Structure 1
Amino acid sequence: MLKRFFIFCSGADTKILDSCSPGEQTKYAGIGATVFFTAVMAFIASSYALYTVFDNYLTAVLFGLIWGFLIFNLDRFIVSTIKKKNNFKSELLQATPRIILAVIIALVIAKPLEIKIFEKEINRVLLEQKNDMTLANREQIATQFNPQIAALDAEIASLKEEVAAKETEVNALYSTYIAEAEGTAGTKRLGKGPVYAEKREKHDAELLALQELKATNAEKIKAAEETIASLNTEYEARVNDSQPVIDGFDGLMARINALNKLPFLPSLFIMLLFLAIETAPIIAKLLSPKGAYDLKLEEEESALQTWVAQQLQQRELILQTDTEVNNRMYADIAEEQELYNYKRKKARELLQLQADAFYNKQKQVLG
């Protein structure tokens, strides 16, 4: 039963092949098995490739089956249409378009399977690319917020420097009036005299101004820090919103590009393997000697061509004979006097009718 199925896959005429030797049947069963398993590999490859596109098992399997049947039909057609002749160059010329088509099919089948075979290595390359894209994305988004944040940081630093400068000034005034009281500077008189009171008053005024400046700048610093926090929150939200796009960067094209970044030699070997599998039935037919099946098929086709040629020749002879008979028959009729007199009578009547019609027409015009 399995042998019959593989023979069907080979596209051979089972009626002719049944009359051939078991060895001939085995040869075509082997060709059919190659065609069948190539279609199975095409189904697996296309299902995986389509799963990376649709991310749905049912859709991937459905379209994978359609693609597998398409490849099966193409391979079966390619193998079944190669006819063995006694001229290898003629056979090779006949098979060249089919070999090119087989090569294209092999390349289409091989690529998704390469992606599956090297899946771990491809995932590593994709991870590196995603990390680079994440960093680049954060930097790109940061360029939209950094100028505002930098301006706010500079404003905060300026406010703090203003308070620090005021504190330095107040501290200097404090040291001045203390030194005046101790008699170590200024008038160098020990005690709290008028100069001391003046310097103390000035210090107290500046201290009050410092306290007001601190309160005012603290509010400004708080507002700036809140704005910075808001900008940072917005920045993180923008990053988080765009991250799923980067995380989803693992489609078919991304995996093909990642595969191209891996060493070429292993991928080449897999591609050559599928080329060998896909072209094996055609090469086997070209290299195999002309067998009993080829001879019987040629005999049947030759018999059909002969029968068609005979039918065409017979139709041509029938037409030629019928033409000659008709020519002779009409020649004999043309010599009969009775037919001449009858046609002469009818011609006279026709001329009379034409003359009467012309007379009546002219009479109406003139009259």
Structure 2
Amino acid sequence: MLKHFFIICSGADTDILNTCSNGEQNKYAGIGATVFFTAVMATIAASYALFTVFDNLYSAIFFGLVWGLLIFNLDRYIVSTIKKNGNFTDELIQAAPRIILALIIAIVISKPLELKIFEKEINQVLLEEKNAMTLNNKTQIAEQFTPKIEAFNTKIDSLQSEISQKEAEVNALYNVYINEAEGTAGTKLLGKGPVYKEKRDKHDAALADLKELKTENKAKIEAIEDKIAQAEIDYANQVTTSQPIIDNFDGLMARVNALNKLPWLPSFFIFLLFLAIETSPIFAKLLSPRGAYDFKLEDEETALKTQVLQNKNQREIMLETDTAVNDRIYTDIKNDDELYNYKRKKARELMQLQADAFYKKQKTIL
């Protein structure tokens, strides 16, 4: 039962192969088994690759099975269309396009399995890339908010500078009227005279202005600090919102790129393994000597080809003969006076009928 199934997988003609020896049947059963298990590996590889894309087990399995059946059909077609004619060069030329197709299939099959085999190493590369992307993302977002925050801080510094300048002015006026009272500067008269009072009033006015300036600037600074706090909240929200995009950066293309950053030699050997598996049925058929199955298949095909050519040649001869006979018959009829007189009589009657019909029509009009 299993042997018969693998023979079907090889694409061989079971009716012819059943008349061959067990050795010949085993050879094609082995080729069919290789085709079957290659399709199984293709199904597994495609399912894993699609699972990384869709993140849905059932969808991945379904499309993986479709892909496996496609690979199975291609491999079966490739093996079954290689004909053994005893000339290795001709057979190799015949198999060259199929080997190229097998090479492409091997690449497609091996890549998803490489992703699974080196999954831990790929995850490490992706983690490093995600960390770098997180830092770059924060830097890029900060570039949007940093100028705004710096402008707010500059305004705060300017408002605080105004307060400091006013405080220095008030302190200077305080020293002036104190020195006037002590007689160490100004009029240098000890006591609180008119000049002292004038300087004291000037100081008090400046002090009142300072208090008012502090109140106004404090309100402005608080408003600006609220804007800075809101900008920092917006920055944090934008970082939080964009982080899931970075966290989900582990799709198929990201993993393939991460795999390419790993040492190439292990991946290359895995590719060679699948290339050997994929091309083994082809080379097995190329390298194996012509067996009973090949001779019987060639006998059937050549017999059918001979029959078709015979039928074609016979139809061509029949057509040529029939054409010659018809030419001869119509040549003889062309010179027959009896046929000429008969057609002349009928043509005369037809013209008379046309003339009568025309006369009746014209008479009706008049």
Work out the CA distance in 1 between the residues paired with 2:7 and 2:255: 38
Work out the CA distance in 2 between the residues paired with 1:279 and 1:93: 15
Task: Classify 1:131/1:346 alpha carbon distance in 2 versus 1 (closer, same or farther; 3 Å).
Answer: same
Identity of aligned residues (%): 64
The equivalent of 2:11 in structure 1 is 11
Which of 346, 349, 363 is the aligned partner of 2:345? 349
- Cα deviations across residues 327-348 of structure 1 (Å, max 9, x unaligned)? 99x69x97xxxx975x466345
Q: Which ranges of structure 1 fall in alignment gaps of 5 or more residues?
A: none
Q: Give the C-alpha shift of residue 123 in structure 1.
A: 2.4
Q: Give the C-alpha shift of residue 124 in structure 1.
A: 2.5
The equivalent of 2:169 in structure 1 is 169
Structure 1 counterpart of 2:233, one-letter code: T
SS of equivalent to 1:122: helix
Structure 1 counterpart of 2:225, one-letter code: E
Work out the CA distance in 2 between the residues paired with 1:355 and 1:2: 84
SS of equivalent to 1:250: coil
Work out the CA distance in 1 between the residues paired with 2:251 and 2:285: 40
Task: Classify 1:208/1:106 alpha carbon distance in 2 versus 1 (closer, same or farther; 3 Å).
Answer: same
The equivalent of 1:153 in structure 2 is 153
- Cα deviations across residues 3-39 of structure 1 (Å, max 9, x unaligned)? 2221211111222222323222222122111111111
The equivalent of 1:24 in structure 2 is 24
The equivalent of 1:47 in structure 2 is 47
Task: Classify 1:217/1:355 alpha carbon distance in 2 versus 1 (closer, same or farther; 3 Å).
Answer: closer
The equivalent of 1:121 in structure 2 is 121
Q: Give the C-alpha shift of residue 180 in structure 1.
A: 4.2
Q: Give the C-alpha shift of residue 213 in structure 1.
A: 1.0
Q: Give the C-alpha shift of residue 204 in structure 1.
A: 2.3
SS of equivalent to 1:174: helix
Structure 1 counterpart of 2:44, one-letter code: I
Q: Give the C-alpha shift of residue 287 in structure 1.
A: 1.1
Work out the CA distance in 2 between the residues paired with 1:227 and 1:355: 110
Work out the CA distance in 2 between the residues paired with 1:154 and 1:344: 121
The equivalent of 2:101 in structure 1 is 101
Aligned ranges 1:195-206 → 2 under 5 Å = 195-206=195-206
Task: Classify 1:173/1:310 alpha carbon distance in 2 versus 1 (closer, same or farther; 3 Å).
Answer: same
Aligned length: 362
Structure 2 counterpart of 1:305, one-letter code: K
**Is residue 2:237 matched to residue 1:241?**
no
Tell me how large the CA RMSD over aligned residues is: 3.4
The equivalent of 1:89 in structure 2 is 89
Structure 2 counterpart of 1:76, one-letter code: R
The equivalent of 1:229 in structure 2 is 229
Greater Cα shift, 116-125 or 105-114: 116-125
Work out the CA distance in 2 between the residues paired with 1:288 and 1:281: 11
Work out the CA distance in 1 between the residues paired with 2:155 and 2:358: 118
Normalized against structure 2, the TM-score is what? 0.85
Q: Give the C-alpha shift of residue 312 in structure 1.
A: 4.2
Normalized against structure 1, the TM-score is what? 0.85
- Cα deviations across residues 52-88 of structure 1 (Å, max 9, x unaligned)? 2222222211111111100000000100111111111
Q: Give the C-alpha shift of residue 313 in structure 1.
A: 5.1
Structure 1 counterpart of 2:125, one-letter code: V
Work out the CA distance in 1 between the residues paired with 2:327 and 2:208: 140
Structure 1 counterpart of 2:252, one-letter code: L
- Cα deviations across residues 150-170 of structure 1 (Å, max 9, x unaligned)? 221111001111111222222
Greater Cα shift, 157-166 or 302-311: 302-311
Structure 2 counterpart of 1:173, one-letter code: L
Task: Classify 1:179/1:56 alpha carbon distance in 2 versus 1 (closer, same or farther; 3 Å).
Answer: same
Greater Cα shift, 118-127 or 219-228: 118-127
